[in-house]
């Protein structure tokens, strides 16, 4: 599991890899807390290499979004597999998160 960050078109893009679960959630939160500490205004989270998300992973993502919104930041999720997108739909979290088809859509829509 890991989070790799890059800047594209002035936006922070985070590539999350592996599972987002009870074991990896603290590491993910730590990576995003650094960005939140810098008050990154717009973050794109690419899920291309995310294989699994459990309830603690969802809770961590909600907490990250809440912390970003506290200072006016925005986060978009991209490239969700059908299974993971279904999880967001079942839990109604697709209404809370901005979910885009892919990274390029998120970048152009933010710009």
- What pLDDT sits at residue 1? 67
pTM (two decimals):
0.94
- What pLDDT, in 10s, does the model give residues 24-82? 999 999 999 999 999 999 999 999 999 999 999 999 999 999 999 999 999 999 999 99
Q: Mean of the pLDDT values across residues 87-92?
A: 97
- What pLDDT sits at residue 110? 85
CATH number of the domain that 11 lies in?
A: 3.30.750.24
Residue scoring higher pLDDT (48 or 111): 48
Cα radius of gyration rounded to whole Å, the chain = 13
- DSSP H helical ranges for 1-111: 25-37, 55-70, 82-90, 103-110
Domain coverage including residue 31: 2-110
Question: For residue 52, which phi and psi values (nearest 5 degrees)?
Answer: -165, 145
Q: How many domains does the chain have?
A: 1
């Amino acid at each position: 599991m890991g989070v790799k960050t890059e800047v594209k078109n002035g936006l922070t893009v985070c590539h999350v890899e592996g599972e987002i679960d009870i074991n990896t959630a603290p590491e993910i939160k730590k990576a995003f807390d650094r960005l939140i500490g810098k008050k990154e205004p717009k973050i794109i989270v690419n899920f291309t290499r995310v294989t699994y998300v459990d309830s603690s992973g969802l809770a961590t993502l909600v907490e990250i979004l809440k912390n970003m919104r506290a200072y006016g930041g925005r986060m978009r999720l991209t490239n969700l597999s059908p299974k993971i997108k279904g999880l967001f739909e079942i839990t109604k979290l697709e209404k809370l998160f901005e979910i885009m088809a892919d990274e390029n859509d998120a970048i152009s829509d933010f710009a």
